Amino acid sequence: MDIELRNIHKRFGTVHANNDISVVFPAGRITGILGENGAGKSTLMKILSGYQPADTGDILVDGNASRFSSPEDAIQEGIGMLQQDPLDVGAFTTLENFVYGRPERVLPDWQAARKDLEEASAHLGFDLEAETPVERMSIALRQQLEIVRLLALGVKALILDEPTTGISAEQKQTLFAALQQLAHRDGVIILLVSHKLEDVITLCDKVVVLRDGRRIGEEDMPAPGETDPVTLEKIKSQLVHLMFGQELGPHVRLEVPLDKVVLQLENLNLRDRRLQIENLNLSLRQGEVVGLAGLDNSGQGLTMRAICGLESVSSGRVLLEGEDMTNRSYRSFLHRGVVFGAAGRLEEGLIAGLTLTEHMALVRSGRAVLDWPALESYTSESLKHYDVRGEAEDRIEQLSGGNQQRVLMALLPANPQLLILEQPTRGLDVESARWIWQQLLERREGGTAILFSSAELDELVAYSDRILVFHAGRVHEVSDVASTTIDELGYLIGGEFKQV
Amino acid sequence: MLLPVLLSLLLAALLVLAVGREPQEVLEKIWQGAFRNTRSFAGVLNFWIPLTLASVGLFVTFRAGLWNIGIEGQILAGAIFASAGALTFDFPPELAPLQLLLQILLGVLGGMVWAGITGALKIWLGVNEIFGGMALNALAGVWGIYLISGPWYPEGGSAQQSRPFLENALYPPLSRDWPVGLLAIVMTAVAMVLVPLIMARTRWGLQLKATGSNPRSALLLGVPTTRVAMSAFLVCGALAGIAGSYRVMFTYGSFRPLVAGGIGFLGLLVVLLSTMKPLWIPLITFVFSAILAGSTRLRVSLQLDSSLAGVLQGTLVLVFILFQGLRQRLEARRGDQAGDVSQASASSQSGLTG
Amino acid sequence: MNVEFLNTLASVVANATPLVIASIGETITERAGVINLSLNGSLIVTAMAGFIAARVISFGVDVDAIDMIASAEAGLIGGVVVAMLVGALVALIIALSSIELRLDQVTVGFILTLLMADLAQFLGQEYTRIPGPVVPKWPVPLLQDLPLLGPVFFQQNVLVYLSYVLVIGLWFWLFRTRPGMAHRAIGERPEAAYARGTNVNRLRYVYVVLGGALVGVAGGAYSLHFKPGLSNPPAMQGDGWIALAIVIFGGWHPFRVVVGAWLFAALRAVSSDIQKNGLAVLGQTIEFNFVLLNGLPWLMLIVTLLLVSSGAIERLLLLLPGPVQRRMRSVLRSDPPRAIGTTFEVD
C-alpha cells in the first residue's frame, strides 16, 4: 500500500494550518514529518487519519481517492494514528483496551484475544501484560499497546505523533527497533511526527519538513548506523535551516554569582498514590537554576508541589532562608516570595472567564475595596511592557497560548525569592520559549532562584546549573551540567543510574 | 424572555385544563389572592422578604461555585435558633427591641452553623455540598419535629407547632392594614443593594468569583480559597438565618417544622433565572412571591392544590434555561457557519493563487 | 436461625428494592457520563403516574369506585409501563439539554427534581389515600425451599426478582460484553470511544433514557409495592437523594450499589423496630424520643460519603492478598467515570 496527499488545505479561523500540502508515502518506508510547534504537522496527520476533514484536497490510497469522516473509516482503509496521549481508556485493562474496537461479537472471545495480544506483543519485542489496568502503565507501555492494537485491526500505515516525548532512552530504543521491523520487514508505512532532529535522523528513511503550514522540503536520511559525525552535523544543519528558515545560534550562558542559600530540603520524604520519594536533600542559592528531569509522573511534580505547600510532606524539613516552612500553606510561601507555576496554564494558573485586569487585581491589589480605573490602567501598562497581544478588558481565554504565558509572567511579583515552574515552555514555539527564558534569566540576575522541570532535555542542559533526574521516585543529581550529554541524561531518566 | 414566559404559562394552562378547571379562573384567583387588598399585598411581601434574603445569599454561594442546596436547612436552623430565643426570653417592654435583635442574631447564628457544617464537610472532608446540604436539610427537619414533639410540646395542643410566642418576641407589624415587619423589609432592601455592590467592588467579591471559576488557579494566584468558600457559605447562612427568623417571628408566631416551606429551593431557581445579574433578583422574587401568596387560597376557592405555584415557577425556569441553551447553540452554530463560509472562500482563493 | 430474623432479612430485601432499582438506573446513566440529578423528583412523579395508571386501568377513572373493571395484573403492568415511560421522558429532557444544548446537567436535574415533585402533587391530588392494586407475592418454585436463602430472597414479588436480574445483568453487561465496554468507555474517555467507531452521543441518549426508565420502575415500585398508594407528602420523600448517594458509595459498581441499598434498608428496619418495640441494651431499656431515629439514614448518607472521600474503601484493597486484589479491583475502585458531567463533540 502507498498513500498520496494532494493539495491539502485546512484553515482554523485566520490560521492557514495546512497550505497546499502534497506528499507521497511509499510502502515499507519510515517517513519523518518534521517541523516546529504550529507548523501544521499534527493537523495534516489528523486529516490523514480521519480525525478532521480537510477543507480541500485529496487523499489517495493505492491511487484511489478516499474520504474519511471518522478515525474508524481511516482504520478500515488501513491508516491508524497513535496520538501523543494514547487514546485508551484508563479504567480498562490492557486486554480490554485491545479488545474494545475489534469486530467482536457481543460476548468477545477473551481467550483468542489474549492469545492475539500476546503474540502481537512478542512479535514486536514488547512486554505487555494482559491484566494490568492502563491507568497504572507508563506512556511507553500505553504506546506499545496502541501500536499492537492498531496493527491487529489491519493497519498498514501507522502514524505516530511525537511518540518520544515522555519516554526514556531505553524505551525509545525498543520503540524504534519495533518500528524499523514493521517498516522494513513487514512493509508497513510509518510516519513519525516530531520536532526532534535526533529522532528523525536516527529512525527515518526520509524526512518531510513543514513550516507555517507549507511543505518546505524533503531530505533523504543516512542509512541506520551512520556514525560519521561530520555527515550527521551536515544533515542536522540542513534540517534546521529548513525548519526555521535560519540557523539558530547556540545558547549563551551567563555566569551569575551564587549568593546565600534560599531553599534547603532536609531528608524530605514524600508520598502520593503512585510513588514515594525518600530522603531528598537539596540546597538552592540565590540566582541558581536547577532543572528537574524525568518521565511524566516520576516525582518532579510531587516534589515541586511539596516544596511550596501544595502537597504535604511526610517527614523531613523545608527551610526557606533558614526558617522552617514544612507543611505551611501555599499562601504563606507566596507571602515570602515563592511562586509556583503549573504546566497547564488555563487549568492551573489562569482563570477562564476573568479579564486580564481582574487577574492583575487578584495579585496586586492590597486594598479591600478595589479601584478599578487605576487597576485597568496599571494592567494596560503592564501588558505593553510584557508585549502581550491583548487588551486589559479581554478575558484570558481569548488570548493565544504564548500570550497567556506572557500574562503569567506579568502576574509574577517583581523580585520573587524562588520560582518553581512546571514545564514553563510546554506547547510553546521556539520564539515564545526563548522569550520566556529571557524573562526568567533577567529575574535570576536579580537574585531569584529557579527550580523548573522539563520534558525537553536540551532545555534542561541549556539553562540549568544543576539537574536532578527523577526515576520512579529515586533522585540522581547531575552537578556538572556542562560536561553532560543529552544521551547520558536519557539513560538516567530511564533509570539506568549505574552507567553514569 | 417573553417567549419562555408565554410558553410556560401555556403549559401551566394545559395542566389546569387537564384537571378540569378554567385557566382564566385560576389566574384570576391567584391575582386576587395576591393583590385584592393591602393585607393580601402584605402577604406577598411576607414571602418576598425571606425569598429575597435567601436568593441574595445564594447569589453569593453561586458566585463561589457552590450549589448550596442546604439553604432549606439553613433557613430552618435559623428559625429553630430564633424560636429558642423567643421561647426563652421575656424582656420588659422597654427592652423589647433588644430582645428582637437578640432573636434575629440567634437566627443568623443558626443559619451560619448549619451552613458552616455543610461548608466544613465540603471543604475539608470532601463531601459534595449537594449531598451534605440535602442530608443537613433532612436533619434540621428531624430536629424540628423532635422539638415540637418533645421539649417544645405545647400544653394541651397538638404536635403541629410549638406554643405561640409572646408579643414582645415578634416583629411589630407596620399597621393593622399592612401586617408586615418594617424592620425586615429594611434589612432585605439593604442586603439586596449592599451584597451585589460588595461583590462588584471589593477584593473579597473578586476572590469569590475567582474561586468559583477555578479554585486551583485562584489558589496559585494567592486567593485563600478555603477561607473564601467558607465565607460564602457563612454569608449565605446568615441571610438564610434572618429569613428563617422572620418566618417564625412574624409569619407564624410560633415554630413549625415546615417553616422553610421550599423557600430556599425556590431561591435557587430565582438565582438560576437571574443569570447571575443581581439587579433582577428582587423583581423575580416579587413575581414568585405573588404567585406563592396568590395560590395559597386555591385550595379553598377552587379545591386545587397550591403546588400549582411550584409547577408554574419550575416550568418557567426550566423553559427559560432550555431557551437560553438553545439560543447559545444557535449563535455558536451561526458563528461556525460564518467561519465555514470564510474558510471556503479563502481556500478557493488560495487554490487559485497557489 | 430463627424465623423472625429471616423475616426481617426478607423485609429488608423487599424494602430495598425501589432503592436498588433506582440506583442501578442511575448507575447506568452515570456510567455513560451523564448525571441525572432529578432522581428525587423523578421517583415522586413516576410513583404518581404509575399508581394513577394502575388505578384507572383496574378501577376506572372514578376515584370512589371500589369495584374492579379489569384485573389487578393488567393495572399493575400498565402502571409500571406508564411509570417507565414518564421516567424515560424526564431523562430525555436531561439528555437533550446536556447533549444538544450543552447545559449544565446539575442545573437541569435540580430544576426537574423540584418541578416533578410539585407536578406529582398537583396531578395526583385526587388520587391520594385511595386504594389501588398491589404487586402480589410470587414465591419462586424450587428456589423458595432453599434453606436460609429461600425465605430471604425467593418468597418475594416480581419487582424484587427484577432487582436481582438488574444487578447481575448490569455487572455482566458492563464487565463482560463488548457493548458494555463501549458503555463504560463513553463515560470514561469519549475521545477513545469515538476513535474506535463508537457513536458517543447516540449511546448516551440510549443509556440516559434507559436509566430514567428504570428510575420510573423504581417509582412504580414505591406506589405499587413498597408503600402502596399516594400520600402527601410523598412516602419516599428524600429517597432519590439517598439513591444518588448510594451510587457514589457503590463506586458505580452494581454489586457495591446493591450492598449500599441493602445497608440503608437494614438501617431503616432497625430504627422502625426500635420505634415499635423500644430499645434495650443489656436488659436495660433506653428511653429517648424515637423521632430522632428518622435522622439516621441521613447521618449514614454523610458517613458513607466520608468513607468514599477519605479513600477508606480503596485502602481496603491494599490489605488483600495479590490475586484477590486483582479480582476485587473493579469493585473497590471508587473513582467516578472520568468524563462524567462533560459534553462530547467531534472537532
- Interface A-C: count of C-beta contacts within 8 A: 61
Chain position carrying cell 494482559: A130
| C-beta atoms of C294 and B145 within 8 A | yes
**Option in A51, A100, A104 nearest C185 (CB):** A100
Task: Identify the three-state secondary structure at position B267.
Answer: helix
* Residue-range definition of the domain harbouring residue C111: 3-237
| C-beta atoms of A91 and C333 within 8 A | yes
Interface test with B, best of C93, C119, C122 (most B CBs within 10 A): C122
Chain position carrying cell 479581554: A394
- Structural domains of chain C, count: 1
CA distance A331 to chain B (A): 6
- Chain C residues in contact with A104 (beta carbon < 8 A): 178
| C-beta atoms of C295 and B325 within 8 A | no
> Does residue C118 carry a pLDDT above 60?
yes
- Type of residue numbered A428: L
Q: Which of residues 275-314 of C touch B (CB under 8 A)?
A: 289, 291-292, 294-295, 298-299, 301-302, 305-306, 309-310
> Does residue B354 carry a pLDDT above 60?
no
pTM for the structure as a whole = 0.92
Q: Is C345 exposed, middle or buried (0-12, 13-18, 19+ CB in 10 A)?
A: exposed
Q: Which residue of B has its CA nearest to C121?
A: B307
CA distance A121 to chain B (A): 40
**Option in A52, A70, A106 nearest C178 (CB):** A106
A374 touches chain B (CB under 8 A): no
Task: Check residue B350 and give its pLDDT.
Answer: 31
C192 touches chain A (CB under 8 A): yes
Alpha carbon C339 to chain centroid, angstroms: 22
**C-alpha span between A49 and C289 (Å, rounded):** 69
- Chain B residues in contact with A354 (beta carbon < 8 A): 209-210, 213
Q: Is residue B175 assigned to a domain?
A: yes
Q: Which of residues 48-107 of A touch B (CB under 8 A)?
A: 55-56
CA distance A56 to chain B (A): 8
Model confidence band, residue B349 (pLDDT cutoffs 50, 70, 90): very low
Domain covering A3-244 assigned CATH 3.40.50.300 in the classification: yes
CA distance A127 to chain C (A): 19
- For A251-308, the DSSP string reads P-PPP----SEEEEEEEEEEE-SS-EEEEEEEEEETT-EEEEEESTTSSHHHHHHHHT
Q: Is residue B21 assigned to a domain?
A: yes
B338 touches chain A (CB under 8 A): no
Task: Check residue A254 and give its pLDDT.
Answer: 63
Q: Which residue of A has its CA nearest to C337?
A: A91
Q: What is the mean pLDDT of residues A46-56?
A: 92
- Chain B residues in contact with C37 (beta carbon < 8 A): 130
Q: Which of residues 64-103 of A touch C (CB under 8 A)?
A: 70-72, 75, 87-92, 96, 99-101
Reported as a single tens digit per residue, the pLDDT across B14-47 is 988 988 889 999 999 999 999 999 999 999 999 9
Task: Check residue A413 and give its pLDDT.
Answer: 86
Q: Please state which of the ranges A17-21, A235-239, A286-290, C218-222 shows the lowest mean pLDDT.
A: A235-239
Q: Which residue of A has its CA nearest to B220?
A: A349
| C-beta atoms of B143 and C309 within 8 A | no
A449: part of which helix (H) or strand (E)? strand A449-453
A152 touches chain C (CB under 8 A): no
DSSP state of A221: P
Q: Is residue C64 assigned to a domain?
A: yes
| C-beta atoms of B203 and A370 within 8 A | yes
**Option in A331, A351, A352 nearest B222 (CB):** A331
Q: What is the mean pLDDT of residues A25-48?
A: 89
**Option in A310, A347, A361 nearest B206 (CB):** A361
CA distance B231 to chain C (A): 22
Task: Check residue A433 and give its pLDDT.
Answer: 83
What is the residue-averaged pLDDT of chain C? 92
CA distance A263 to chain C (A): 32
- For C29-95, the DSSP string reads HHHTT---TTHHHHHHHHHHHHHHHHHHHHH-S-TT--S-SS-HHHHHHHHHHHHHHHHHHHHHHHH
Q: Is residue B135 assigned to a domain?
A: yes
Q: What is the mean pLDDT of residues B192-212?
A: 96
| C-beta atoms of A87 and C192 within 8 A | yes
C92 touches chain A (CB under 8 A): no
Model confidence band, residue B353 (pLDDT cutoffs 50, 70, 90): very low
Task: Identify the three-state secondary structure at position C216.
Answer: helix
Q: Is residue C324 assigned to a domain?
A: no
**C-alpha span between C182 and C339 (Å, rounded):** 13
Q: Which of residues 162-191 of B touch C (CB under 8 A)?
A: none
The residue length of chain C stands at 347
**C-alpha span between B166 and B163 (Å, rounded):** 9
Q: What is the mean pLDDT of residues A485-497?
A: 70
- Quick one: what percent of chain B has pLDDT higher than 70? 94
CB atoms within 10 A of CB C278: 11
- Chain A residues in contact with C179 (beta carbon < 8 A): 106
* CATH assignment of the domain containing B123: 1.10.3470
- Structural domains of chain B, count: 1
* Residue-range definition of the domain harbouring residue B282: 2-327
Q: Which residue of B has its CA nearest to C108?
A: B318
CA distance C103 to chain B (A): 6
| C-beta atoms of A105 and C178 within 8 A | yes
Q: What is the mean pLDDT of residues B123-147?
A: 95
- Chain B residues in contact with C291 (beta carbon < 8 A): 142, 145-146, 149-150
Reported as a single tens digit per residue, the pLDDT across A255-293 is 667 778 999 999 999 988 778 898 999 999 998 999 998
Phi–psi pair at A109, nearest 5 degrees: -85, 90
CA distance B351 to chain A (A): 8
CB atoms within 10 A of CB A277: 23
Model confidence band, residue A414 (pLDDT cutoffs 50, 70, 90): confident
Reported as a single tens digit per residue, the pLDDT across C285-331 is 887 888 889 999 999 999 999 999 988 888 887 888 878 887 787 88
Q: Please state which of the ranges A91-105, A339-353, A475-489 shows the lowest mean pLDDT.
A: A475-489
Q: Which fold has domain A261-337+413-499?
A: Rossmann fold (3.40.50)
ipTM, two decimals, is 0.92
| C-beta atoms of B214 and A7 within 8 A | no
Interface test with C, best of B321, B324, B326, B327 (most C CBs within 10 A): B321
